[in-house]
Chain A
Amino acid sequence: GENVEQHPSTLSVQEGDSAVIKCTYSDSASNYFPWYKQELGKGPQLIIDIRSNVGEKKDQRIAVTLNKTAKHFSLHITETQPEDSAVYFCAVTTGSARQLTFGSGTQLTVLP
C-alpha cells in the first residue's frame, strides 16, 4: 500500500519568514496531493492541492510543488503570520481510489 512520510514533525519560524514542509510517497500511480491545515480543536481544512499533470500551484502566500520523478511534494508558505500556526498534513491518493493516505503531520509555530 501507499506510504507517505512527512518532514519535519515540528517547525518554528519567525513571523515574515518562509516555511517549507516536505512529503514523500511510494506509489508512482498516485495523482492527487492535497494539503490540510488543522487548528487546535478543529477539523482539517483543505488549503491547497495539486494533481500529477501540474508541477506547481500557487494561491497567494501558499504554494505546492510536485516532483513526480522523485515522488515528493512540498508546501511553501511565504511571509508567515502568527495565524499560520497549526498542524499541517499532506495526503496522497490515486484517481480511482476514494481513500486518502495522510502524512504524520507538521506542527508549525510562527513566532511573533
Chain B
Amino acid sequence: DAMVIQNPRYQVTQFGKPVTLSCSQTLNHNVMYWYQQKSSQAPKLLFHYYDKDFNNEADTPDNFQSRRPNTSFCFLDIRSPGLGDAAMYLCATSRGVQRDNEQFFGPGTRLTVL
C-alpha cells in the first residue's frame, strides 16, 4: 500500500563522493518534490517537477540536481556532498491540479556524510 517510496532509507557517503537518492510513487501524481530537512527544522524545498517541467528554488545549491525519467520515478543527485549536506531528504507528490494540492510525503532518506 506504500504510495511514496524512498530508497535507500539510510545512505552513508564520503565527503565529495557523488550520491543518488531515489523516489517512486504509485499515485500517478503530476508533481514530485524534493525537500531537505535538517534536525529540528521544517522541510526546505529544493526543487519540484510538474510532469517534465523542472522548477528549481532560487537558493538551491548547484551541487543538487534532479532527474525525472518518467511519471513514477524521481532522483536526487548530490554531485559532491559536503558535511553540511547531511540531512533527511524527503520526497513528496501532489496532483498539482488547482484546489487539489495536498502533498504526500515519503518516509525519507537519512544521508550521512563522512
Contacts and interface: CB of A to CB of B under 8 A. Distances in A.
Contacts of A25: none
Given A89-B42, A105-B41, A41 B102 contact: no
B45 to A, nearest CB: 6
B102 A46 contact: yes
B101 interface: yes
Nearest to A104: B42
Contacts of B42: 89, 102-105
Interface stretch (B13-21, B61-69, B79-87, B90-98): B90-98
A49 B99 CA distance: 12
Interface residues on A, range: 20 to 34
A44 B35 CA distance: 11
A68 B55 CA distance: 30
Nearest to A93: B101
Given A51-B99, A98-B31, A98-B94, A44 B105 contact: yes
A50 B39 CA distance: 28
A36 B27 CA distance: 19
A96 B105 contact: no
Interface of A: 32, 34, 36, 41-46, 49, 51, 89, 93, 95-100, 102-105
Interface of B: 4, 6, 31, 40-43, 45, 48, 50, 55, 90, 92, 94, 96, 98-99, 101-108, 110
Across the A-B interface, the 5 shortest Cβ-Cβ residue pairs: A43-B105, A102-B42, A43-B108, A43-B107, A44-B105
